[in-house]
Structure 1
Amino acid sequence: MHDMEFTPEELLQQLRELDEHPRIEAKLGRDAGDSVMQTVCAFANEPGLGGGFLMLGVAEPDDAHAEFWVAGVTDSDKLLGDLQHHCRDQFEQPIPVRGEAVLLEGQRVLIVFVPELIPAAKPCVFKGKYDSKNKRKSGIWRRGLNGDYECSQQELEPILLAKAGTSFEQVVPAEAEWEDLDPAAIALYRALRQKVRPHAEELQASDEEMLHALNLVKRQNGQLLPNVAGLLLLGKPLALRRLLPAIRVDYVRIVGTQWVEDPEQRFATTLDIREPLLRLIPKLEAAILDDMPRHFRLREGDTQRSDEPLLPQKVIREAIVNAVMHRDYQVNQPILVVRYSNRLEIRNAGYSLKPNALLGEMGSIQRNPCIASVLYDLDFAETKGSGIRTMRRLLENAGLTAPVFASSSQSNLFTATYLLHQLMDTEQLQWLQQFSYFGLNDDEAKALILARETGAVDNASLRAITGLDTLSASQVLRKLHHQRELLVQGGASSATYYQLRNLPELPLFDGVDTSDLTPNTSDLDSNTSDLRGDASDLPPELLAAMATLGTKPRREKLWPVIIWLCAIRSHTAEELAARLGNRQVTALKSQHLSLLREQEKLLQYSYPEVVNHPQQAYATTAAGRAWLAEQGITVYE
């Protein structure tokens, strides 16, 4: 395996640094049993992971070892032979694993690389295990944040669509009709297209022919029916609500710099938008611009000052278009746009199909090519992969920090953060002066600033703003913690985060100088209806359900209570453990919360951009609310 991207020493170091690593799995390696083969299946299946590494002969921490330790294997040749035989014999599709025995810390260890199969060869499934009627078990394994899991039929659908060479945007929803398309939206498309290209050939065709040519409708049983792309671009709002209930954008205004700072007023303002994309994009853009601080600028050669938003309008448009164009619409989770006082964050389901290191480079990989093509034809978007590069240039010209992108294939989430100031502006540099005697480098300074801005910093968030790799980011944080003693560590292993140590009290930067800014939120409705306090504010039905849980409740009794509580307001794991009868937090996370968030998609993090945030909490997703409704539980907002 001379072409392996990591050395054995680097693999072991990454395990020890992160504990749980999506691409590395350690096993004692006494034999190539079920646990080993399930991990092989998961690595081969997981979309976008690029395969993974098995370290056989490396054991997990135990009472005698504080970290992963090298136990070694006794017969590496036999173990590798058995593993390769099982990879040919146990699966419907053979998996070409590559392995070699190496010496690591004086012990013989087997390092095996499992490649991700091409879409046409997926899913990797154990022979005779796949049962299309079993909605809970499939015999097909995938890779999650906390290891391997047997995926459900719903989690299998993206793999099967990719195998068929199609995408979810081309699926025709059940009960979709031609009448679900909005004639006014179709007319809007024609008007916008005519402005860009007056003599476009599709404009000469009838509506039916035009939409068929644009791949927005499919012919079934002699009828033209709208697919998901057609509904998203041109559907009536009521049709979107009926057929795609979670397809909307939630715009939230937060007072301050953190998601939940004042439990008495969770949101300052909210605006939910459910429109066809041709109307949604400009409507959301207008909402953000109206709520954006503005400044007056006198350009060279002009005789009058101009009133401009702090974040350039083209950047806002590009950010919105990227979110709707690259979103994974198969996930029932609205796009969330959050306007903090110091930044704008846009979170959408769907990890980046391009590696983070290549974001901004030429070339585009499209998750929804039909939607992207229409938006490109109307000059809403570009398809050459230069959108992010354009945003970076515009922000640099405006004197602002480049956007921070965080993409996670494991949680299938993409977050874009646009700071409304320079990360290292004058005010921040003045604050850093108190640490001048440490001789901080740029990465260390950025880690401190990020911890100050958001309340915490972890490995993933530091990588996003610095471009460091996992190990380098970990070394920076450990140095600031152990040697500099400027950060305090919280959590453990993969849940590690860092906060500022008790430092001299200086005013927290909470936005921008408002002396020359005129924010406007007049068209957004105030919303504090989902604020709930202590148990006295809980519905009597929920209190009754909590009272009957007992000491060891089954999932069918416990899960509705958890999802109900998190639908009323976000709860930390500690809060949930206390409400549910002082349960063990660790067991609650591993046995229930992780499953509800990662596999069932009924819960989501309140701080997805900083997974290990000290105030991390769980909130019920749109799918979770729908699940509650199926149980006969209605949560009033």
Structure 2
Amino acid sequence: MIRAPFEVGPFIGQDEGQHFDRKSLFEGPEGQKRPRDRRSVRDQVAEYVAAFANAEGGVLLLGIEDDGSATGHRYPADAVRAILDTPRARLRPPQPEGFLVEHAGVELLVFDVPISDVPVQVDGDGFPLRIGDKTVQASESQIQSLKFRGLVESWESRPSRMALADLDPALLARAKAGSGLGTISDEEYLLKRKLADRRGRDVALRRGAELLFASDGPDHPNAGVRIFRVVGAERRLGAEHNVEERPRIEGNLGQVLPAVFAAVDGLVRRPSRLVGNRFRAVPEYPEFSWKEAILNAVAHRDYTTEGRTTEVWFFDDRLEVTNPGGLVPDVALEDLLSLRRVHVSRNPRTVRALVDLGFMRDQGEGIPRMFAEMEGLFLPAPVLDPSPREFRITLRNTPTLTAEDRSFVASLGDEELTDLDFRALLEAHRHGRIDNARMRQISGLDTLGASQLLRRLRDRELLTLHPAGSASFYELGPTVRSRSKSRARPLAGLPAEEQLELPTEEVAERGELTESSAADRGELTPDRGELTPDRGELTPDRGELTPDRGELTGGSGADRGELAADRGDLEDVPPSVREFLGSLGPRPRRDRLRQAILRLTELRAWKPPELAGLLGLADAAKLVERHLSPMVTEGLLERTHPENLRHPEQAYRARKDDPAASRDKEDDDDAR
């Protein structure tokens, strides 16, 4: 059996993302786990390996649970061999086979997937592409276009005049350790990441290798970062010149990025701001947001433009980060503003190595999280400004809170609230109501998590539920409303620009919030509903679930509540199953969704609308068609009224007998 030097340690606690995914090789409820269907495992391996190869490469680990625990497998040797050989047997062109590693006393199946120079197809099943932590279906021409620009035309792909001895061995060691390849040579790592090529017995570097690792910096006049501080809100010239340039930061990216982060952190002010319903000294811009803006600029800039560099501009009221090169042709501004996860890179080799070095997260979540972080501190949404020659991200530091908001906060007094609790209450105050869908939008929670938060506030009588089937919503509770009205009063005190800098204690004593300018007052989130993000270029793979998982459309009035959790149906569900439901996310894959169905139906029989509510699905009829009925056919579920499929009390429960043994026998034959 194939074994290779590979350290799984860096991946055990890592979130799934652009370059990493993990899967369990078991299914079924706790205490009754059984090996997954081998054919479905091979199908999954083919899909994920092709998707990684068509993007920037990646690692697929099989034998790891969602909580990071290593459980390995219980397959015979011939079945394991068939799974490991899937990339060679099922993909066109064939990709490197997988290998085994031992970890925590069990065997894991590992697929270390390199970037492919050409589109990779699953035999008879299309061209998958990895975007963030999802797999989508793309066309061969789309992938070919991405490959040509990223792997052929980009500056990082050009031959370098440097040699291996010119690179920083410590940085290379750090990148290898972060990639799980700490035991291989520097030369092998660079070849795997396509930062070098074999030329007979020698290795020829590409310019991406010098950009990342050159000891004395890359052979590029403007590969670093420049930082400017402007006194005021606008740049002035001549006698009124008000721009101070900080020392230019140059070197390889492993040196540049920490130095830039340290310099910017020293320039960010820390005024007292509202966090939850308390004032604290916090940065004027969320740390994640400004770091993400800089990382995006450095990683995705057009390095063929050698006359300009990445720039960071500090103004009194905003922070601007610009980089040479507009949007990659396959990404539109609407894609970014829709807050969908988008991952198309101008410099795919560089991005992959920056992940290995620990600078970039691996989830394709940068822009969406940047918006959420700004909104969480009641700051205006980031402004994304692409042009043919450059891309600019602007972060503004003037809070969006209004005088009415400030009065509402004062009315909450000493209520113990988390940040998300407060955001839910403020939303209900501003708009008169809040529902599950809006809570998900402003918090990043999934359907179940949003419902649990709103129910907790209801139980504390801070919110009141108005059950209305699929239109259920919450309003502020009577006590909160009465307190808010009694505290409504004109605000006195310092101007906004002075309030911004008040010490935390002084602001808390005044019971006042920093005042925004009239231009910046208004809604917490800008209205972006006019954008049409669906451009038809990439369609989600396996779109069996509708994106909005918050409401049911079928069943009686009793069955159509905002969530089953709001009807008390979770009370008899064990905590472990609740936790699993909460981990599904907005678009769970079929195997995880069916695992959740099995866990629930092991407890008791459920009607389709009840199951749909617990799973956060929008259509109970589609749940029956796409999952419940096929699972009955496969022998996993049974109907409570099998003689009458349209029985009004029809429900589904897990079968007591286990059909897995006969399936395993068929899979053994298939594996051979």
Tell me the TM-score normalised to structure 2 length.
0.36
Structure number with greater CO (CA < 8 Å, separation at least 6) is 2
